[in-house]
Amino acid sequence: MRKRRRQESRRGSSDPGHRFTADPGMEAKQIRRPCSEISYDMIKGLVPISVRCRILLAEHSRVNGTVSYHHTSPLFSRLFLFADGQGELTMEGRTRLLKPGTVYLLPQNCSFDVTYFPSMLYYFHLSVIDALGFHVFADCDDLLMLRDARLFRTLIEYYCADETEELESLLLHVVCRFLHPLIPQLIERAHRGQKYAQLIEYIRQSKTAGLTVTDLAEMIHMSYGSLLRDFERRFGFSLKTFLQNVTYEKATDLLAHTDLTVYQVAKKLGFNDPKYFHRFFKRRTGMTPRTYRLFAHGQTMATDQG
């Protein structure tokens, strides 16, 4: 197995789905380094497995009062820990008390409500995907917890000492600890996906809004119906849904991390008419591309904690 690290010039991540509900009383520091991506590769039997972890944001906050937030289907996973104090998190009607000594991970797309009491909070926004580009924690719908006192202390020590490489490596180690129960699922998906690995890579490198299932079927010498049925059987969702998801992920990334105009983003994604992009994006997020960019470019960083 091996680890790879590469740097990309990025801004911090954002979560447009938060709603601020109280006076924050927070003092925040954000580490505005380039976004880091670290890969973890291994072989299980004859099946290669690759996991890519992108660190979108590293931040800490001193909470001086009591504050509450509602987060709706964030596009990234949150890894966080309390150095002191505590909080309460509610998911699917179940409320948990969050305390020091535990590393927590909230999978992406999981809506939740959280209340912070006076505390010191460290948190990281992560994008964790497999070699096919699927989000690894997508099927998790509950809070993940890791109780390891030494690891807990070392994460905070590396963060406070600004030990960038050590912190990134340790974050990958933590992610792999959370991933361990999911390895059989990753092996199965990697095995199922080998047939379509090149097709998926082609889709991710293309202007996805301009792709059709008919064109893709012809490219790999399959009939339209056979491709639709086999893809959904292997992955549990349709190829059309996958194309829409990839388009949406690219759109949010371009809006959040580039200075391209909305018109340029639409063209880069393959939309012939920006009006169609506007409708597509608003249908997925409930907001226009320009409104999303306002959130993504830092106007709400001071109030979007954790």
pLDDT in tens, 170-200: 998 999 899 888 888 888 888 888 899 899 9
Cβ 192 vs Cβ 234: under 8 Å? yes
Distance CA 77, CA 190 (A): 21
Largest interatomic CA distance in the chain: 62
- 3-class state of residue 122 by DSSP: strand
Q: What angle do the packed helices 239-257 and 224-235 form, to 10 degrees? A: 70
Q: Scan for tokens 């920006």, then name that residue.
A: 274
> Domain 2-182 is classified in which CATH homologous superfamily?
Jelly Rolls (2.60.120.10)
pLDDT at 47: 56
Domain extent listing, the chain: 2-182, 189-297
DSSP 259: -
Q: Scan for tokens 């937030």, then name that residue.
A: 69
Residue 270 has pLDDT above 90, yes or no: yes
Residue 5 has pLDDT above 80, yes or no: no
- Tokens for 144? 């993940």
pLDDT band at 138 (very low <50, low <70, confident <90, very high): confident
User: Tens of pLDDT along 65-97?
Assistant: 999 988 777 778 899 999 999 999 999 889 999
Determine the average pLDDT of the residues in 38-67: 76
The separation between CA 100 and the C-alpha centre of its own chain, rounded to angstroms, equals 24
- Tokens for 87? 């909080």
- Tokens for 22? 């109280």
Asked if CATH classification 1.10.10.60 holds for the domain at 189-297, the reply, yes or no, is yes
Distance CA 133, CA 200 (A): 8
Distance CA 187, CA 193 (A): 10
